[in-house]
Structure 1
């Protein structure tokens, strides 16, 4: 079974989606984020089955595309096959970083990829992610200090207003 799983991952990640789905390892991703020399780093919590993520994700991609001041990291703790299928179906054009891919998988699991991603933000980047969920983001400054973040209580207009100042600088 493990061999079949590995084959499927290789099959999907060696197609034209290879540039979009990246599994660089949890620690390496944190280092990549920290080493970015951009003025701002936006880390977006992605989950393909979350309705808010389905609505906000394309808007965030559009708003941050070609912005020289901000590095964007769409991160997800879902299984790679789920993300590859979503990316293929929805024609995702941004890079998506997969985390927590080396976890132990169980036949019956209560694994929550959104909570896993938020725990990652807290552990690896020092972000207070207690009220964050899917489609939320945080912005780090050049020194990797959190300077803004969204939460599940925010309405769409507040959410996008928080992003605007970092795109115009």
Structure 2
């Protein structure tokens, strides 16, 4: 397993080995013992699936507030996304900073996003299927969103904001400044 650190401590890119033969490939998408041996000891309790029919679909920026805060492990089963994590832990040296990475079915990369971070992605291909593990179950009363095009965050999504395909919830999301954050940095 290849583990790449990002500019945000705790946000990691993981690539599991692939075994390729004339039929295609085989890989483990998740292995609790392998991750634990690498110092990543997160108990995932829920798997989610998101299908976006059109390229340019933006999902996010989302998080769950405590006590239902979630870590996520995101991968792509079909298509391509630009995956983004934003540190929203008050007092963190990287508060308000973001990292992004291309995840695809082809490259097999996964992004690990800890609690205390916003998460979102934009699809770069039609019929993109995103799968992700969560460390806590979905809790509607703790579900929160921040504008994907928040000018204070300055995320480069690779598309013009007016061309983004959004849900009503994401289109109405507040900026981080207006929403605030329930997370504190424990550094």
TM-score computed with the length of structure 1 as normaliser: 0.31
Whichever structure has more strand as a proportion of its residues is 2
